[in-house]
Amino acid sequence: MRVGGCDSAALTWLPETATEANNWLSVAYGNGVYAAVSTTGTHRVMTSPDGVTWTARTAAEQNAWKDVTYANGQFVAVANNGTHQVETSPDGITWTARTAAEADNWNSVAYGNGLFVAVSNAGADAHLVMTSPDGITWTVQTAAEAHAWSGVTYGNGLFVAVAGSGSHRVMTSPDGITWTARTAAEANTWRDVTYANGLFVAVATTGTHQVETSPDGITWTARTAAEADNWYSVAYGNGQFVAVSNTSADAHQVMTSPDGVTWTTQTAAEANAWQIVRYGNGLFVSVANSGTHEVMILPQCH
């Protein structure tokens, strides 16, 4: 794997080539490989051992795959359409279709405390959550409010989901089953949330403050983003939070923070529509749904 020189003052992102020019929306690391999923294309999964060289894989179904995670020995991906809106794989290569609890627009999936939890940003009712102990058999759950839930994570004994609309744009659950509405720091379009270093951190595409933090998932504090972009995703690794944007007037589509409070702009590998960033095996990996290079990586700083 190529090594890019980087430090806290100058982070060097490297552009990499995706297997197909698809709408890549999510990536996860597990079992020695990175696996990315897409909403379009002939092959809607690709895998890489190092984030640099990617191989096309066949998804279980030609669905719009929105998110993927790895836990409990397998990759689990969710989709917002299709006959089967869940697919699982032990290795990222061979995928098996699974039946979702109901046909919703499943947007995000996370794992914690022995349970996979997925949230939806649209549904026929308030059943915008589903849970599974194994990624195979899913049970519908009732969200705290019927909002557009866009991201979910687990930390500090709690599942936390964020939404892009509604009166309460955060909800929490200790078990993934019973959910409680919480008040976000601002009524922004919250897109993604992560937990690390004793703190929940969420990012938004709109608002005066496009970052919010919470030590417990209940009480949230507004934070100022490095600049006003469409912040789509946030992750933590190697002592820092990293967020990416899917649009910008310039190449500053990355911002970083050591504490989730004070943020600094960084230059993306290309000015693409970056959809997600995740950390695994010493590497930040981000994928996009446009651009010449739809993958960028940030090797671990030394």
| DSSP conformational letter for 184 | -
Residue 261: the pLDDT is 98
Q: Which CATH architecture has domain 14-299?
A: 7 Propeller (2.130)
Q: Is the pLDDT of residue 83 over 60?
A: yes
Coil/strand/helix, residue 295 = strand
Query: How far is C-alpha 93 from the chain's CA centre?
Result: 20
Mean pLDDT in residue range 75-98: 98
pLDDT category of residue 3 using cuts at 50, 70 and 90: very low
Residues in the chain: 302
Separation of alpha carbons 164 and 51, rounded Å: 30
Mean pLDDT in residue range 286-298: 96
Classify residue 12 as exposed, middle or buried by CB count within 10 Å of its CB (0-12, 13-18, 19+): middle
Give me the chain's average pLDDT, please.
94
Amino acid occupying residue 252 = H
Classify residue 127 as exposed, middle or buried by CB count within 10 Å of its CB (0-12, 13-18, 19+): middle
Coil/strand/helix, residue 126 = coil
Closest Cα partner for 147 from 97, 196, 96, 183? 183
Neighbours of 32 (CB within 10 A): 12
Amino acid occupying residue 243 = A
Q: Is the pLDDT of residue 63 over 70?
A: yes
What residues contact 265, with CB distance under 8 A and at least 6 apart?
A: 226, 227, 252, 254, 255
Longest dimension (CA), the chain: 50
DSSP 252-281: --EEEESSSSS-EEE--SSS--EEEEEEET
Cβ atoms 95, 154 nearer than 8 A: no
Q: What are the tens digits of pLDDT across the range 98-153?
A: 999 999 999 999 999 999 999 999 866 678 999 999 999 999 999 999 999 999 99
Separation of alpha carbons 167 and 148, rounded Å: 11
Residue 244, φ and ψ in degrees, nearest 5 = -125, 155
Residue 123: the pLDDT is 66
- What ranges do the domains of the chain cover? 14-299
Q: Is the pLDDT of residue 264 over 80?
A: yes
